[in-house]
Amino acid sequence: MKKILFVLFLAMSATSYAQFSAYINGKAIKEGASVSKKDLASLQVGFKNQKKVTIISGISALYVQLLDANKKDIQSFFLQKDGYVAIEDFFKSNTPTTKYKVFGEGGFLSNGNTLDWILSAAVGQEAQKTIQVKIGLYVAEETGYRQYGQSVRLLEPMTFNVPIWDAKNVTMPFLDLTIDKTNIAGDMDTKQNGMLGRKETEIGYRLIEKDKIWYTAFALDSDKYPGLNAKEVADDFIHAGTFYANYNQMNDKKPFKDYDIQKYTLPWDHINDLLDSKNRLSKLSYRVNKEVKNSNLMNLFETVTINGMKGYAFKSSTDEREHINATKWTPKGNFVIYILEHPTNPKLTLIISSSVKNNGNTLEETDALLQTFINSIKK
């Protein structure tokens, strides 16, 4: 066990009014208050009457921590002072009316994403319907090179709350939709196939039900893929699925005489893990379903209208094998996909799909799950 050489001499300040101050849009707020998420960016903090410490050298930090309903850290923002001189100057220059900006340019440092990204990512996270904001101040003595002793809290933390989202009205900006999440269990995470800002990057949402059924919701834009619509997406999906279900027999560049599989480059692997030669949709396998080889693949879809949206549905059991050259396939789970016209934006095509890699899920429960999501969409 590391020996901690840490000696601090603590003395309470002469007054008992030790406290933090927090300001939203320049107005002071109280402990336990509720603050609108759109106003959180204006947060300023201050403190007075902190405990006095005698310290050789170390660090001191004024921090703002964002916590979920389980008191789990989401992210922290901090103003840190290193070394004896910096710490002394920090406390000496602080006054009861000093205000420190927390977020944005000129604000605190952070160990991760921006506030806007955090608030956006919180939408659909069950533990982040309300975020708790905790303000604290601590000091720790240096015990070695970049090593510090136990941190000492100089003030009792101040906390307030920020409601983030309402289950009946959950905005999904990457789908250009709002949904009622009341009947949709589990967290809703963003999922993307590349870095932000890149033209080819698609961002959608990933959910899980009963700890075993993964599914996603994406919206593809015809501005990025000229000519794209629900039929074109369905055509691309069914040919890509057939190619990978018969991977060892169809490994040339032009596997279909009547369809150019390079017409679009849609991110199926990130949408539903389709592009994996170790998994297949059994209905599209020539060995399992001999009629597929000489049929119009679009006939394998059901044409559907669900929640007023027209499109296509495809359902199949799935199989897996140990490696790319294995000939033995074993049953894995079941797969469902809905490809639908967007209810309000004609440029977008919605894809609500389970994962090819789900294991042990039934077709009925997977289909019901996707239909619940689709029926939650508000128009």
In sequence order, what DSSP letters do the residues of 157-198 get, joined into one string?
Answer: -EEEEEE--BTTBEEETTTTEEE--TT--S-EEEEESS-TT-
Shortest CA distance to 268 belongs to which of 307, 225, 304? 225
> What's the CA gap between 49 and 270, in Å, rounded?
53
CA distances from 242 to 178, 327, 371 (A): 33, 17, 24
Specify the pLDDT at position 9: 23
Q: Is the whole model's pTM more than 0.85, yes or no?
A: no
Specify the pLDDT at position 7: 24
Q: Locate tokens 């033209």: which residue? A: 199
Helix (H, G, I), strand (E, B) or coil at 20: strand
> What's the CA gap between 208 and 121, in Å, rounded?
16
> What's the CA gap between 201 and 221, in Å, rounded?
12
Query: How many helices (H) and strands (E) in the chain?
Result: 5, 24
Residues 23/24/25/26 CA torsion (nearest 10 deg): -10
Question: What's the sign of the alpha-carbon dihedral 177, 178, 182, 187?
Answer: positive
Specify the pLDDT at position 258: 86
Q: Can you give the pLDDT of all 379 residues of the chain as single tens digits?
A: 222 222 222 222 223 344 999 999 999 999 999 999 999 999 999 999 998 877 778 999 999 999 999 999 999 999 999 999 999 999 999 999 999 999 999 999 997 889 998 998 899 999 999 999 999 999 998 888 778 888 889 999 999 999 999 999 999 999 999 999 999 998 999 898 877 778 778 999 999 987 889 999 999 999 999 999 999 999 999 999 999 999 988 866 678 888 998 899 999 999 999 999 999 999 999 999 988 988 899 999 999 999 999 999 999 999 999 998 899 999 999 999 999 999 999 999 999 999 999 999 999 999 999 999 999 999 8
Specify the pLDDT at position 10: 23
Is residue 215 within 8 Å of residue 207, measured between CB atoms? yes
Specify the pLDDT at position 234: 98
